[in-house]
Chain A
Amino acid sequence: MPFERRRHRGKPEGGTRPGLALRLAALGGILFLHLPLLFIVLYAFSAEDKSFVFPPPALTTRWFAVALEREDVRAALLLSLQVASVATVLALFLGTMAAAAVWRSSFFGREAISLLVILPIALPGIITGIALRSALNLGGLPFSFWTIVIGHATFCIVVVYNNALARLRRTSPSLIEASMDLGANGFQTFRHVIFPQLATALLAGGMLAFALSFDEVIVTTFTAGQQATLPIWMLNELVRPRQRPVTNVVAVFVIAITLVPILLAFYLTRHGQDAAGSGR
Chain B
Amino acid sequence: MSAAAWQAGRADPIARFARYLHSRPRLMLALLLTPPLLWLGVIYLGSLLALLAQSFFYIDEFSGQVVRELSLRTYAELLTEPNLLVVARTVAMAAAVTLACALIAFPVAYYIVRYASVRLKALMYLGVMVPLWSSYIVRVYSWKLILAKEGVITWLAEHLGALWLLEAILAVPVLGGPSLSFSMFGTFIVFVYIWVPFMILPIVAALERVPRSLMEASADLGAAPIATFRRVILPLAFPGVVAGSIFTFSLTLGDYIIPKVIGTSHPYIGTVVYAQQGVAGNVPLAAAFTVVPMIVMAVYLTIARRLGAFNAL
Contact = CB atoms under 8 A, between A and B. Distances in A.
Contact of B256 (A150, A188, A208, A218): A218
Interface in A1-23: 1-5, 7-15, 17-18, 22-23
Main SS class of interface, A: helix
Interface string A246-280: 01100100110011001100100010000000000
Given A124-B254, A239-B260, A130 B44 contact: no
B64 interface: no
Contacts of A26: 107-108, 110-112
Most chain A CB within a 10 A radius of its CB, from B32, B47, B287: B47
Given A138-B50, A215-B137, A127 B39 contact: no
Contacts of B126: 263, 266
Contacts of B267: none
A125 B273 CA distance: 12
Nearest to B152: A54
Interface string B91-116: 00000000000001101101110110
Q: How large is the interface on A (under 10, 10 to 19, 20 to 34, 35 or more residues)?
A: 35 or more
Given A1-B235, A3-B232, A32-B193, A234 B216 contact: no
A100 interface: yes
Given A32-B104, A212-B133, A235-B137, A135 B260 contact: no
Interface of B: 1, 6, 9, 14-15, 18-19, 21-22, 25, 28-29, 32-33, 35-37, 39-41, 43-48, 50-51, 54, 104-105, 107-108, 110-112, 114-115, 122, 124, 126-131, 133-146, 148, 150-152, 154-155, 193, 196-197, 200, 215-216, 218-219, 221-225, 227-228, 231-232, 235-236, 250-251, 253-257, 260-261, 270, 273-274, 277, 283, 286-287, 290, 293-294
6 contacts: A7-B221, A7-B222, A37-B138, A97-B33, A215-B134, A263-B126
